[in-house]
Amino acid sequence: MRAILVEEFGDANVCQLAEDVPIPEVKPREVLIRVHAAGVNPVDTYIRSGTYSRRPNLPYIPGADCAGVIERVGDDVTKFE
């Protein structure tokens, strides 16, 4: 899959398009979404810059807001299909 990948904290220039990111395995309480559109929430910019209180392990794929289609659901998911 394609994804924006952040390998270091900084300005927007640290965001790189990666073409060969493996599709994640769905855990029991998760859903896998084929993303058709994604927005940049202000919190995404704070996390990317390293100024937010929560700092993800690097590298990470940013994104708090998206729209798409559910591709798979975990075994414990009951309200989505």
- Residue 71, SS3? strand
Which CATH number does the domain housing residue 65 bear? 3.90.180.10
Task: Report pLDDT for 63.
Answer: 86
- Structural domain that includes position 28: 3-73
What is the block-wise mean pLDDT of the chain (81 residues), using blocks of 10 residues?
96 96 96 94 94 94 93 97 89
Q: Is residue 80 a part of any domain in this protein?
A: no
Are 32 and 23 in contact, with CB atoms under 8 Å apart?
Answer: yes
Q: How far apart are CA 50 and CA 9, in angstroms?
A: 5
Q: Is residue 47 a part of any domain in this protein?
A: yes
Count of the separate structural domains present in the chain: 1
Task: Report pLDDT for 36.
Answer: 96
